[in-house]
């Protein structure tokens, strides 16, 4: 017997499980550590048709994201209209963006027009991936927008910026709504397009974008401000109201008060750690010579001065 023992790491035989119609075994593989096995299992489940539908629907509330994704992929391949309602529920309520995204795509694969209303709602979603998946599925379902607002949401979802630009002021409302997108690149593009529409109705949205926590969005708002009819005096005022994303002055001050040097290191100065090491060495030597208390009584009044200095240093650091 070999002195070295290696456990059996052979991948499971998905083909054999498929032939045996082992639905529950294949569902367990949806959470396998190997992503290739996950996808093979989902593909196998999708090929089993009707017998796999009920077990797959039952795991749509699994706590494991790969299981939910694989189950939806399989249901999309089966294309049974009875699966539309459960998948719509996932599209509306699942907490994971990637699960909702695959649900939007699966509804297009199934091809049932019943899915059109929830997909129309989904092209208004704040997440660009879900909007994109919903728009692709609506195209597969041969859906036609009924008004300019739906047309604008559809074009935004597909990131067809040329079509959005050509719509002019008719796209203002949907663009302002999509400014909720958590992705800074999307918000930046939306602000740019709002400036290009030249719609006075976009003024408030552009002023809000001046306070965005992301610098790219704020700069896009500065460039769009004039066309959005934002008064020049409001631009610096709006920027001053932005959420600060730089280093916290209080954190830097406390670090330098307790462990002088680490506050500088926190602000990005490499030599701060050298200051900290020197301070620690001197403190230890002083404690050996005079006891543990006296060195601290001497040190803290000195570090308090440096803490104040560090606080104002951090306040002056650019945060644009």
In a domain, 290, yes or no: yes
Count CB-CB contacts under 10 A for residue 52.
24
- Residue 235 domain flag: yes
Domain final residue, candidates 240, 259, 283:
240
Closest by CA to 190, choosing from 117, 135, 231, 199, is: 199
* 2 found inside a domain: no
pTM, entire model? 0.75
Whether 75 and 175 share a structural domain: no
- Element spanning 197, H or E: helix 184-197
Residues 31 and 140 in one domain: yes
The total number of structural domains that make up the chain:
3
Q: Are residues 170 and 290 in the same domain?
A: no
Q: What element of type H or E holds 137?
A: helix 128-140
User: Which of these three, 118, 150, 182, is where a domain ends?
Assistant: 150
- Give yes or no: residues 215 and 285 share one domain: no
56 and 84 in a single domain? The answer is yes
What is the pLDDT, as a whole number, of residue 319?
64
CB 82 within 8 A of CB 113: no
The reported pLDDT for the residue numbered 244 is 65
Do 186 and 113 lie in one domain? The reply is no
Identify whether residues 90 and 34 lie together within a single domain: yes
Q: Which domain holds residue 171?
A: 161-240
Task: Please give the pLDDT value at position 8.
Answer: 54
In-domain check, residue 156: no
41 and 113 inside one domain: yes
133-163 burial, b at 16+ Cβ within 10 Å, e below that, comes to bbbbbbeebebeeeeebbbbbbbbbbeeeee
| Ranges of the chain with pLDDT below 70 | 1-9, 243-245, 318-320
Please indicate, yes or no, if residue 4 is contained in any of the structural domains.
Answer: no
In a domain, residue 25? The reply is yes
CA 273, 274, 275, 279 torsion-angle sign: positive
Dist CA 57 CA 230 (whole Å): 51
Average pLDDT score over the chain: 89
List of residues 6+ apart from 263 with CB closer than 8 A: 251, 252, 253, 254, 255, 256, 257, 272, 306, 307, 310
The whole-number pLDDT of residue 59 equals 95
């Amino acid at each position: 017997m070999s002195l070295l023992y290696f456990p059996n790491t052979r991948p499971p035989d998905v083909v054999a499980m498929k032939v045996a119609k082992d639905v529950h075994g294949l569902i367990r593989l949806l959470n396998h550590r190997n992503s290739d096995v996950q996808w093979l299992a989902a593909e196998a489940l999708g090929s089993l048709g009707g017998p796999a539908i009920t077990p797959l629907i039952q795991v749509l509330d699994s706590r494991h994201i790969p299981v939910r994704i694989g189950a939806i992929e399989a249901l999309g391949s089966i294309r049974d209209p009875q699966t539309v309602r459960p998948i719509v529920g996932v599209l509306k309520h699942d907490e994971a963006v990637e699960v909702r995204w695959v649900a939007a795509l699966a509804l297009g694969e199934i091809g049932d027009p019943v899915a059109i209303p929830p997909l129309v709602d989904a092209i208004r979603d704040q997440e660009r991936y879900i909007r994109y998946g919903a728009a692709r599925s609506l195209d597969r379902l041969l859906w036609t927008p009924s008004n300019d607002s739906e047309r604008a949401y559809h074009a935004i979802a597909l990131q067809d910026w040329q079509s959005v630009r050509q719509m002019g002021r008719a796209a203002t409302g949907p663009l302002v709504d999509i400014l909720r997108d958590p992705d800074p690149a999307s918000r930046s593009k939306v602000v740019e397009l709002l400036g290009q529409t030249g719609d006075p109705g976009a003024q408030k949205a552009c002023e809000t974008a001046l306070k965005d926590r992301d610098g790219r969005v704020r700069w896009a708002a500065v460039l769009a401000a004039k066309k959005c009819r934002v008064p020049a005096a409001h631009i610096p005022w709006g920027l001053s109201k932005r959420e600060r994303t730089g280093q916290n002055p209080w954190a830097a001050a406390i670090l330098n008060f307790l462990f002088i040097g680490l506050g500088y290191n926190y602000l990005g100065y490499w030599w701060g750690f050298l200051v900290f090491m020197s301070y620690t060495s001197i403190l230890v030597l002083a404690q050996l010579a005079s006891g543990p208390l006296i060195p601290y009584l001497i040190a803290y009044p000195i570090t308090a001065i440096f803490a104040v200095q560090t606080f104002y240093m951090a306040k002056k650091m650019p945060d644009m």
